[in-house]
Amino acid sequence: MPGVYHLLLRKKNTTMPSLDISNKPDLQQLDNGLNTARKELLTRYDLKDSGSEIEFDKKNSSIKITSDIEMHVDAVVDIIISRCIKQGFDAMSFDLTDTPQASGKTVIKSIKIKEGIDKETSKKITKKIKDSGLKVQPAIMDDIIRVSSKKIDDLQAVMALCRREDFGVPLQFGNMKS
């Protein structure tokens, strides 16, 4: 029977080390940054009577900014970005492509929070990993990239490679299994 036990142990340890590359921003850090931004709105002299407001929709991962003029909306966006960065939230997670829309006497701007890795970015990341010459196997799985290798050192080299490059989205590395 000792032979069977050793075979079971060998079979259990045959999985290859793997790592997941994803983009899942920490919404609690974002909420903390938005709360400090709201406090700053109350104390800023130039924004005191502007009627500026910040609303955070956790379900849709979006921020809605309302103010009286577009210049104040831009100032509020700058406050949000600086406060969220100080809380440790990555500024690349903000999708600032939406233009402010006038609605009566107010101007409204919506900022989406980027979550997940889109297909084009996933392809760029996997191409970069494959072109690096490391002995790893990247695989795109929905909005994450799973990288497998025989050595953990290769996975750490992939992490370093991805940190050096700018892919337009913040990357988190997790679920590392050995």
Average pLDDT over residues 33-37: 93
47 is a domain residue: yes
Number of domains in the chain: 2
Q: What is the pLDDT of residue 51?
A: 84
100 in the same domain as 35? yes
Query: Closest Cα partner for 148 from 156, 159, 133, 137?
Result: 137
Token readout for 7 is 């075979």
102 is a domain residue: yes
103 in the same domain as 164? no
| 175, 35 contact by CB (below 8 A) | no
Weakest mean pLDDT among 7-11, 15-19, 46-50, 84-88? 7-11
Whether residue 44 is predicted with pLDDT greater than 70 in this model: the reply is yes
pTM of the shown model: 0.78
Average pLDDT over residues 47-74: 89
123 in the same domain as 106? no
Q: What is the pLDDT of residue 3?
A: 53
Whether residue 16 is predicted with pLDDT greater than 90 in this model: the reply is no
Kindly state the percentage of the chain with pLDDT values over 90.
42
20 in the same domain as 93? no
Q: What is the mean pLDDT of the chain?
A: 86
Which one of 79, 113, 147 terminates a domain? 113
Note the pLDDT tens digit of each residue in 114-157.
Answer: 998 889 999 999 999 999 888 999 999 888 999 999 988 999 99
Token readout for 51 is 């009627």
| 156, 62 contact by CB (below 8 A) | no
**What is the span of the domain harbouring residue 131?**
15-24+117-177
